């Protein structure tokens, strides 16, 4: 039994999501990520249950563990009630803890995700927040979002929201006392440490790649260079 | 009564849904992308049906998107959730209803994990006290907002002004329902109808006069994939999944799509726009897209709400052909008006002009 495997088993998602895998491949057959990416959840679960630290380390540094969409379709279908999606979450968690995530292009994207999503939670109390959704980053949102962005206050008022308003309602300003509690929760339960670790490892990587923090953000957000697709 | 086949499966997954008195918690995505849907939900439940749905400004995100983008640890999301439950308790409620499938899945996962690992529950209780000085509590009932509309579907039908019926032909509209993965795939027994034949939307469609379409990729993910969408260079994943679903449903000629999750209607709507821009392909009739709705919007339409009060102008795929099919009147000049009829221009037409 290896040290990395032991670390993984501390994660409740492994306790919940990994019983004996019979290698049937049902999860891979149902998996939307396996169809799109060079990705095979069956193999990943099998590597973890092999308890082989060398293989697990490779996994933690690989692109593969970042391909899953966490849809949990695999959980419904697995005949042994494993949850490859939960196993992936535990692997990602450990990869970030150990700084291995910066070894893969898809893993490096955690820098942008933490900035955007964790940033929105701490600043506004929402995971996603209209003021930070920019049409230039979301061309798929269409000309409609450009119009909404240009007329945000009016559009949300017309649609019954309470954008930055007092009291309840959609997109209300969440009171500072509540944001302070979220910050305390972040500090106490490891989310702040997670953000700091992601930033520290990412900035080391940025220096290695000769990029400023801003350039690194744009790079990981906009570019994918390697061939990830399952053609 | 002896049930067989699908009916049998549905009868095995008859979730208990209390009739009244809920603590209502909003969805990050729905508030941003379909805010009028939440307004409609509260208007129908409170004002049209006279039920008690309480909301406080002090609730926050459940952290679900961050959790599934892996930017916060499990312990963080569980403590945020404990805080939400504690607010419910503080305001004197024991039925908890959330407007988001990601939240619903995460609340369910959290409650199940606490049940299985009491030491973890104890730790979260301690976290909650140390960080927020709030008393730990768990809901007696957990519902998704669509469970509530499902529960009230016949009450809504009784007040309906319109049916999901093609006015010209008299035939039921052909409706695709999309459930959203985290509603029933993780914990089928917590959903209406289970993972295989979820009935939460199908029940609404039938009660309001429509016909549910079964098609091969009916249960496939919309493709959100959390990090697979929020990072721009990953969005091909998201688009490909939606594309797969539309190719699969196309031969069945759907008139409309109803969705359960706040994110799915956005993806099913906007990726149609992208596919039309990239390939010139549209999936609806006469070169139009297939309009995609939230369940609150459809409930509002059958009850006779003004389509622009329901926020249907926040969709990229035009809804007008569907309104005309049902015979719902609308004022095209009012569509993009601001509050009090203020002129705020209008979005540019997509290049393809047909959406
Ligand atoms: S479906 Fe379950 S048992 Fe089969 S390979 Fe996947 S994890 Fe293993
Ligand atoms: S959770 Fe991940 S591994 Fe499981 S089916 Fe979804 S994308 Fe595939």
The pLDDT value recorded for residue B265 is 94
> A86: Cβ below 6 Å to ligand 2?
no
Cα of A24 vs centre of ligand 1, distance in Å, is: 5
- Split at pLDDT 50, 70, 90, the class of A226 is confident
Separation of alpha carbons A202 and A109, rounded Å: 9
Mean of the per-residue pLDDT values of chain A:
96
Separation of alpha carbons B84 and B277, rounded Å: 42
Rounded to the nearest 5°, which phi and psi values hold at A101? -60, -25
Of residues B213, B284, B239, B299, the one with CA closest to residue B36: B299
Cα of A43 vs centre of ligand 1, distance in Å, is: 9
Residues A148 and A205 in one domain: yes
Predicted TM-score (pTM) of this structure:
0.96
Rounded to the nearest 5°, which phi and psi values hold at B192? -80, 110
Domain-located, residue A205: yes
Interchain contact, A194 vs B72, CB within 8 Å: yes
Residues A60 and A111 in one domain: no
> A26: Cβ below 6 Å to ligand 1?
yes
Residues B25 and B70 in one domain: yes
In this prediction the ipTM stands at 0.97
Residues B199 and B298 in one domain: yes
CB A147 within 8 A of CB B335: no
How many CA atoms within 13 Å lie on the side-chain side of B84? 31
Q: Compute chain B's Rg from CA coordinates.
A: 20
For residue B65, give the nearest of A117, A159, A177 by CB distance. A117
Q: Answer whether residue A230 shows pLDDT above 90.
A: no
Residues A47 and A114 in one domain: no
Domain-located, residue B36: yes
Smallest CA–CA separation between B213 and chain A, in Å?
21
Of residues A1, A164, A68, A166, the one with CA closest to residue B31: A164
Residues B282 and B193 in one domain: yes
Domain-located, residue B156: no
Interchain contact, A174 vs B311, CB within 8 Å: no
Of A29, A63, A98, the residue that ends a domain is A98
DSSP 8-state secondary structure symbol assigned to residue B287: G
Q: How far is CA B261 from CA B188, B267, B273, in A?
A: 16, 11, 19
Contacts of A188 (CB under 8 A, 6+ apart): B79, B127, B130, B131
At residue B161's C-alpha, the angle toward residues B160 and B167, to 5°, is 120
Residues A143 and A60 in one domain: no
Residue with the nearest Cα to atom 8 of ligand 2? A31
Interchain contact, A93 vs B73, CB within 8 Å: yes
DSSP 8-state secondary structure symbol assigned to residue B116: H
Domain-located, residue A229: no
Average of per-residue pLDDT across A54-58: 98
Residues of A in contact with B83 (CB under 8 A): 181, 185
Average of per-residue pLDDT across A10-39: 96
The pLDDT value recorded for residue B189 is 87
> A27: Cβ below 6 Å to ligand 1?
yes
Q: Which ligand is nearest to the CA of A73?
A: 2
Domain-located, residue A144: yes
Rounded to the nearest 5°, which phi and psi values hold at B186? -85, -45
Tokens of B121: 């529950």
CATH value at residue B268: 3.40.50.11810
Q: How many domains does chain A have?
A: 2
> A41: Cβ below 6 Å to ligand 2?
yes
Encode burial over A69-79: b for 16+ CB neighbours within 10 A, e otherwise. Answer: bbbbbbbbebe
Interchain contact, A181 vs B131, CB within 8 Å: yes
Counted residue by residue, chain B has a size of 355
Separation of alpha carbons A56 and A168, rounded Å: 47
Domain-located, residue B254: yes
Residues B94 and B221 in one domain: no
The pLDDT value recorded for residue B11 is 60
Residues A16 and A93 in one domain: yes
Domain-located, residue A214: yes
Residues B317 and B169 in one domain: yes
Separation of alpha carbons A150 and B110, rounded Å: 39
Residues B140 and B170 in one domain: no
Residues of B in contact with A188 (CB under 8 A): 79, 127, 130-131
Separation of alpha carbons A228 and A224, rounded Å: 9
On the 0-12 / 13-18 / 19+ scale of CB atoms within 10 A, A51 is middle
Q: Answer whether residue A31 shows pLDDT above 80.
A: yes
Helix (H, G, I), strand (E, B) or coil at B174: strand
CATH value at residue A40: 1.10.1060.10
DSSP code string of chain A: --HHHHHHHTSHHHHHH-S------HHHHH-HHHHHBS--HHHHHHHHHHT-HHHHHHHHTSSGGG------HHHHH-TT---HHHHHHHHHHHHHHTTGGGGSHHHHTHHHHIIIIIHHHHHHS-SS-GGG--GGG-GGGHHHHHHHHHTHHHHHHHTT--TT-SSSSTTPPPPHHHHHHHHHHHHHHTHHHHHHHHHHHHHHHHHHHT--HHHHHHHHHH---S--B--
To probe the interface with B, which of A60, A83, A140, A169 has the most B CB atoms within 10 Å?
A140
Residues B184 and B63 in one domain: no
Q: Which atom of ligand 2 is nearest to the CA of A69?
A: 7
Residues A115 and A213 in one domain: yes
Q: How many domains does chain B have?
A: 2
Q: Which atom of ligand 1 is nearest to the CA of A25?
A: 5
Residues A25 and A49 in one domain: yes
Of A98, A114, A136, the residue that ends a domain is A98
Domain-located, residue B151: no
CA B125 vs. chain centroid, Å, equals 30
H runs (alpha helix) in chain B:
5-12, 28-33, 35-42, 64-68, 74-90, 101-116, 118-132, 145-151, 153-158, 181-184, 200-207, 227-230, 235-249, 263-279, 295-302, 320-326
Domain-located, residue B266: yes
Separation of alpha carbons A123 and B65, rounded Å: 15
For residue B66, give the nearest of A117, A160, A169 by CB distance. A117
Tokens of B304: 């006779």
Cα of A110 vs centre of ligand 2, distance in Å, is: 18
pLDDT in tens, A206-224: 999 999 999 999 999 999 9
Residues B299 and B172 in one domain: yes
For residue B185, give the nearest of A72, A109, A116 by CB distance. A72
Residues B181 and B330 in one domain: yes
Interchain contact, A142 vs B350, CB within 8 Å: yes
Residues A139 and A183 in one domain: yes
DSSP 8-state secondary structure symbol assigned to residue B171: P
**Beta strand B211-212 pairing with B174-178:** parallel
Of A98, A121, A143, the residue that ends a domain is A98
Tokens of B316: 């990229």
Tokens of B235: 């969005």
CATH value at residue B62: 1.20.1050.140
CB A43 within 8 A of CB A91: no
CB B285 within 8 A of CB B144: no
Residues B42 and B91 in one domain: yes
For residue A141, give the nearest of B39, B270, B309 by CB distance. B270
Interchain contact, A188 vs B131, CB within 8 Å: yes
Contacts of B92 (CB under 8 A, 6+ apart): none
Q: Which region, left, alpha or beta, applies to residue A229 given φ > 0 means left and ψ of -120 to 50 means alpha?
A: beta
To probe the interface with B, which of A8, A37, A70 has the most B CB atoms within 10 Å?
A70
Residues of B in contact with A168 (CB under 8 A): 55-57
Residues B64 and B111 in one domain: yes
The pLDDT value recorded for residue B5 is 66
At residue A93's C-alpha, the angle toward residues A88 and A97, to 5°, is 145
Domain-located, residue B349: no
Residues A114 and A185 in one domain: yes
Of residues B60, B74, B53, the one with CA closest to residue B132: B60
Domain-located, residue B220: yes
Average of per-residue pLDDT across A63-90: 96
Smallest CA–CA separation between A81 and chain B, in Å?
10
Encode burial over B125-150: b for 16+ CB neighbours within 10 A, e otherwise. Answer: bebbeebbebebbbbebbbbbbbbbb
The pLDDT value recorded for residue B4 is 65
Domain ranges, residue B253: 162-341
Domain-located, residue A48: yes
Domain ranges, residue A160: 105-222
Separation of alpha carbons A104 and A99, rounded Å: 11
Domain-located, residue A227: no
Domain-located, residue B265: yes
Residues A109 and A86 in one domain: no
Nearest CA in chain B to A158: B339
Say how many Å lie between the first and final Cα of chain B, rounded.
47
Residues A88 and A125 in one domain: no
The pLDDT value recorded for residue B256 is 98
CB A9 within 8 A of CB A15: yes
Residuewise pLDDT in 10s, chain B (355 residues)? 455 666 666 566 678 899 999 999 999 999 999 999 999 999 999 999 999 999 999 999 999 999 999 999 999 999 999 999 999 999 999 999 999 999 999 999 999 999 999 999 999 999 999 999 999 999 999 999 999 999 999 999 999 999 999 999 999 999 999 999 999 889 888 888 888 888 999 999 999 999 999 999 999 999 999 999 999 999 999 999 999 999 999 999 999 999 999 999 999 999 999 999 999 999 999 889 999 999 999 999 999 999 999 999 999 999 999 999 999 999 999 999 999 999 999 999 887 666 6
Residues B126 and B225 in one domain: no
> A193: Cβ below 6 Å to ligand 2?
no
Residues A142 and A49 in one domain: no
Cα of B182 vs centre of ligand 2, distance in Å, is: 12
């Amino acid at each position: 039994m290896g040290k990395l495997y032991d670390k993984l088993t501390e994660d409740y998602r492994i306790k919940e999501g990994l019983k004996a895998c019979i290698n049937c491949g049902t999860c891979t057959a149902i998996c939307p990520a396996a169809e799109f990416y060079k990705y095979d959840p069956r193999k990943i679960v099998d590597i973890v249950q092999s308890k082989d630290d060398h293989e697990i380390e490779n996994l933690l540094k690989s692109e593969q563990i970042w391909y899953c969409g966490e849809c949990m379709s695999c959980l419904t279908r697995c005949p042994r009630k494993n949850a490859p999606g939960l196993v992936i979450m535990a692997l990602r968690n450990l990869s970030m803890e150990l700084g291995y995530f910066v070894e893969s292009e898809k893993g490096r994207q955690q820098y942008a995700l933490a900035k955007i999503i964790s940033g929105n939670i701490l600043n506004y109390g929402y995971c996603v927040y209209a003021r930070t959704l920019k049409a230039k980053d979301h061309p798929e949102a269409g000309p409609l979002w450009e119009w909404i962005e240009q007329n945000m206050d009016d559009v949300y008022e017309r649609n019954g929201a309470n954008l930055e308003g007092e009291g309840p309602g959609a997109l209300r300003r969440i009171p500072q006392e509540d944001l302070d509690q979220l910050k305390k929760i972040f500090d106490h339960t490891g989310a702040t440490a997670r953000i700091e670790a992601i930033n520290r490892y990412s900035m080391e990587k940025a220096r290695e790649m000769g990029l400023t923090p801003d350039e690194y953000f744009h790079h990981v957000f906009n570019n994918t260079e390697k061939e990830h697709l399952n053609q | 009564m002896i049930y067989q086949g699908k009916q049998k499966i549905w009868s095995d997954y008859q979730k208990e849904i209390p009739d009244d008195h809920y603590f209502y918690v909003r969805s990050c995505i729905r508030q941003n992308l379909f805010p009028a849907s939440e307004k409609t939900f509260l208007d129908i439940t409170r004002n049209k049906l006279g039920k008690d749905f309480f909301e406080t400004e002090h609730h926050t995100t459940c952290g679900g998107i961050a959790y599934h983008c892996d930017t916060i640890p499990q312990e963080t999301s569980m403590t945020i959730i404990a805080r939400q439950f504690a607010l419910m308790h503080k305001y004197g409620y024991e039925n908890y209803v959330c407007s988001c499938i990601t939240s619903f899945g995460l609340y369910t996962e959290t409650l199940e994990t606490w049940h299985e690992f009491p030491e973890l529950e104890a730790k979260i209780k301690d976290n909650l006290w140390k960080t927020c000085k709030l008393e730990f509590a768990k809901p007696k009932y957990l519902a998704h907002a669509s469970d509530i509309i499902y529960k009230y579907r016949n009450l809504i039908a009784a007040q309906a002004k319109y049916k999901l019926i093609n006015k010209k032909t008299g035939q039921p509209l052909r409706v695709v329902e999309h459930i959203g993965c985290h509603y029933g795939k993780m914990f089928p027994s917590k959903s209406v109808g289970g993972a295989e034949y979820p009935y939460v939307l199908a029940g609404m469609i039938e009660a309001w006069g429509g016909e549910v379409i079964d098609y091969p990729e009916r249960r496939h993910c919309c493709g959100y994939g959390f990090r697979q969408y929020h990072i721009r260079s990953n969005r091909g994943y998201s688009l490909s999944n939606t594309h797969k679903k539309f190719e699969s449903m196309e031969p069945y000629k759907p008139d409309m799509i109803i969705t359960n999750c706040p994110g799915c209607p956005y993806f099913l709507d906007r990726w149609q726009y992208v596919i039309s821009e990239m390939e010139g392909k549209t999936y609806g009739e006469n070169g139009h897209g297939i309009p995609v709705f939230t369940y609150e919007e459809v409930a509002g339409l059958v009850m006779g709400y003004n389509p622009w009060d329901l926020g249907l102008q926040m969709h990229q795929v035009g809804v007008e052909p569907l309104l005309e099919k049902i015979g719902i009147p609308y004022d095209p000049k009012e569509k993009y008006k601001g509050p009090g009829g203020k002129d705020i221009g209008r979005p540019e037409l997509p290049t393809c002009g047909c959406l």
